[in-house]
Chain A
Amino acid sequence: MTAVQQTPATGTAATASGAPPARRGPSSIRPRRTPPPARKGLARTLPRTVAGRVRTLTALALALLLGLLGAAWWAVASAREGVQVIGYDAGPQVVATGDLYFQLTEMDAQLADALLIGGAPGGGRDRALAAYDRSRAKAGEALLQAAKLADEYTEDTTARELVFALGRYERLATQALDLDRRAGHTSGAPPQNVVLQYRAATDLMKLDLLPKAYNLTLDNGTLVRHTYEDRRSDVLDGRTLILVTGVALLVVLVGLQVYMAARFRRTLNPALALATLLTLVLTGVSAVMLSGQANHLRDAKDDGFDSILALSRARAISNSANADETRYLIDPGRADSYEQVFLSKSQTVLYLKAGNLNEYNQAVQKGLDFERGRVPFLGFFGTEASRSTDGRQRGALVKVLEEYRRFQANDRRMRDLVNGGQRAQAVAAHDAAAGDYVRYDKSLQSLIEAHQAAFRAAVADGEGGTEGWYGVLPVAGVIIIALTLIGVRPRLAEYRWSR
């Protein structure tokens, strides 16, 4: 009878071989002299003794544990980096550069206002110009921010071209204002030379500055998208890796338990059992935590960042459409063109099929009811309606749509007056509708705020979800290693004793 069985560890053969080898005394583990069957390849590298197998299994368990901990560490680091970039670094910065477009449209709108009001009493022109200056300062800040975020040559060039174009715009604006002051006109459409000068400025804004500002924010946004996709896929890969190594580790630990129970006639090795249980918990909890992290990242990106950016664009484009009403009044020579861009901007914000503004307004007034899975309109608000699940966001959107309908109805009234030859009443109606526009803008801002709240919550959840894991992982690792060694060591000691 030999101490080292050639049969598998389990089954009757093992028990037939009798008690653990240590009890047999030194002679019993002496090598057998009969030549063993030749083993080839990998088989030659496998341990041939009980202790060797126990050691191998233990070492394998430790290696897998290190793999598990490494994967978890890497995944946690990826999750934290993703949250950091989207929640604190590039995410909010990109949202800030989105403000550039809004401030530029605001500058052009205030310039149009100043020219429309002219030297009429009430100080309206000065107020408009003060607002113009505020917007210019904010636009400068946003542009600086966007330039800092630029990580490619083309983006850099776009930012530089924007600086130059802004300078040219300022010069044209100043000239238009000077001409207007000299003409000394009061409320209503300014004289033709002023209008021509304003056209040059607003064309520069429309054709050069605004597209570049818009594209720059789009470019900046790709940075966030790439970080998001990379980090989220790292987190999901990490989760897969943890599950694979975790299950492998469990198999090894259970195998070790069963093998030792068979070979050493112990029913249960408590330390090893505890290590197994801890591994199970660690694997399960890490996988669940990482699934949560992947979801938090997605919420922060889709529900937060993307929506905030899209709605900020909708707000800026609405603002610019509102200014097109003023331009329509200032420049009757281009009334057709301004009416057409008003329609095109409106359809960007909320798309309903319509050939002209009148049809569009009718379609909007017919109702903008929507339910999940059945949104009858497209555009920015269509996207928002399709993805809106949260109650607060939905409520805010319903309010926005209500205000949008009023905005469009006011527009129709103003244009009908112009078409009826009542230009002065149209200008008055446009002024009177300013309050309605502010209400629409406010409702849009609260919708954006609802998404910002969701964004903050997702970022906070993301941060909280990985909190302490850099501590948990090494501690859990040390405990599992210790328990495994405690479980295995006495059995190996029997061999050492026996030598």
Chain B
Amino acid sequence: MGAARSARSRPARSGSARSVRRRGAPPRAGAGAVLAAGALLAAGACGVADAGESSVARKDSLVVGVNSDQPGVGQRVGGGHQGFDIDVAKEVARRLGVPPENLTFKQVGYATRDSMLRSGKVDLVVASYSITPERKTRVTFAGPYYVAHQDILVPASDTSVKDVHDLKGKRLCKVPGSVSFPRVHDEKGVAALPVEAGGYAACVAEMSAGRMDAVSTDDLILAGLAAQAAKDGRGRPPRFVNAPFSDEPYGIGIRKGDLDGCEAVNKAITEMYQGSTMRDLLAKWFGDTTLKVTTTVPQFEGCD
């Protein structure tokens, strides 16, 4: 368009008959059109690339939201984080092509996980984050990378508890704000006696001290605590009842709509199960307990 206008309005120099039939002009004009078209295409390609930049599949560095208060799963120790979730995050990041030095962990809480993903403060959330239909309306989930179950931990000496119904009349730990006790008491209708504690670590300590009979929440969290108790050498490690009564699919939270990122993370998880990575990680963090872990890949949620 610009070329056409200037060709028309520019003052011509002199009326040489030879120049009337100049050969040079048409190819140049053609080149101009090709250039214009090229520029347009490039602009289009840039648009696509920009959209891709924000996908976790193509980032050079990642900030991962994790828990900091769950021994064996996600715990802040000294200056760093450690636990099963942390190792899973490291493996996923490595498979996404992010070197360890570009990986940062940031503490997230139950209430802040969704909003921190949305605002971009964290790129991924790996924090025993159960996939639920309600959360799926706000967050895209890769995985689950593990399906935890609500299970029961009892002292090693106990032989009376075989499933959740046997908790009737037993002193069961109740952590305010957690859904685990209500699930036993209200949903399963088992009349367990509540004994309050400030957190699941405190529950296990209280049980070791004989002040309660059982602790019930996600098996991985219990296993982390039991492994910790065994390491600390506080008597015989507690026993898993291994009678799960809920599914807690732990997903990796990603900004809503990042399908490329979700697919890439799913691929990473698949690889971790196809090799020995997952088996090794589960053995590393929970192998010292009597929890029966699943070492086959979970059924994914799907990214859309």
- The stretch of A172-180, A238-246, A280-288, A466-474 in contact with B is A238-246
B19 and A63 contact, CB distance less than 8 A: no
Q: Are B247 and A215 in contact (CB under 8 A)?
A: no
Q: Are B33 and A6 in contact (CB under 8 A)?
A: no
Given A218-B266, A237-B41, A340-B246: A45 and B13 within 8 A (CB)? Answer: no
- Nearest CB in chain B to that of A221: its residue: B302
> Chain A at the B interface: mostly helix, strand, loop or mixed?
helix
Contact A59 B29 (CB under 8 A): yes
Asked if B25 contacts A55 (CB within 8 A), the reply is yes
Which residues of chain A are within 8 angstroms of B11 by Cβ–Cβ distance? 6-7
In the complex the two chains form, is A52's CB within 8 Å of B19's CB?
yes
Q: Contact between A47 and B247 (Cβ–Cβ < 8 Å)?
A: no
Q: Does A379 contact B (CB under 8 A)?
A: yes
Find out whether the CB atom of A154 lies under 8 angstroms from the CB atom of B299. Answer: no
- A249 CB to closest chain B CB (Å) equals 9
Q: Report the separation of the CA atoms of residues A189 and B205 in the bound assembly, to the nearest whole angstrom.
A: 42
Q: Does A337 contact B (CB under 8 A)?
A: yes
Q: Which of A1-47 contact B (CB under 8 A)?
A: 2-9, 21, 29-32, 36-37, 39, 42-43, 45-47
One digit per residue, 1 when the CB lies within 8 angstroms of any chain B CB and 0 when it does not, for chain A 319-331 equals: 0000000000000
Contact yes or no, A378 B33, CB < 8 A = no
Given known contacts A47-B12, A241-B41, A378 and B134 CB-to-CB distance under 8 angstroms: yes
Assess the A336–B163 pair: CB atoms within 8 A. Answer: yes
Interface residues of B in 179-206 (CB under 8 A from A): 182-183, 186-189
Residues of A close to B111: CB separation below 8 A: none
Interface of B: prevailing SS = helix
Complex alpha-carbon distance, A248 and B304, angstroms: 40
Contacting pair A336 B12 (CB below 8 A): no
Within 8 A of B (CB), among A373-396: 378-379, 382
| With A49-B20, A157-B274, A240-B40: A341-B247 Cβ-Cβ less than 8 Å | yes
Q: Which residues of B contact A371 (CB under 8 A)?
A: none
Q: Which of B4, B20, B163, B270 contacts A51 (CB 8 A)?
A: B20
Instruction: Determine, out of B102-110, B119-127, B290-298, the stretch whose residues face the partner at the interface.
Output: B290-298
Cβ distance A171 to chain B, nearest Cβ, rounded Å: 17
Q: How far is the CA of A58 from the CA of B33 in the complex (A)?
A: 13
Mask of B111-139 contacts with A, CB within 8 angstroms, 1/0: 00000000000000000000001101100
For residue A233, CB closer than 8 A to chain B, the reply is: yes
Determine whether the beta carbon of A48 is less than 8 Å from that of B40: no
- Identify the stretch in A139-147, A203-211, A441-449, A452-460 within 8 Å (CB) of chain B at 4 or more residues: A203-211
Cross-interface CB contact of A4 among B15, B28, B137, B303, cutoff 8 Å: B15
Q: Can you sample 30 A-B contacts with CB below 8 Å?
A: A2-B15, A3-B15, A7-B11, A29-B17, A29-B20, A31-B17, A47-B12, A47-B25, A49-B16, A56-B25, A57-B7, A59-B30, A63-B34, A152-B267, A154-B274, A158-B270, A158-B274, A212-B297, A218-B302, A218-B303, A219-B267, A222-B263, A240-B44, A241-B40, A244-B40, A252-B4, A255-B8, A336-B165, A336-B245, A495-B21
**8 A-B pairs with least C-beta separation:** A59-B26, A48-B12, A355-B187, A4-B15, A211-B299, A63-B30, A36-B13, A378-B133
With A53-B8, A53-B12 given, can you name 5 additional A-B contacts, CB distance below 8 Å?
A: A46-B7, A63-B26, A152-B267, A210-B299, A215-B299
Query: Which residues of B approach A to under 8 Å, CB–CB?
Result: 1, 3-17, 19-22, 24-30, 32-34, 36-37, 40-41, 44, 48, 133-134, 136-137, 163-165, 182-183, 186-189, 243-247, 259, 263, 266-267, 270-271, 274, 294, 296-300, 302-304
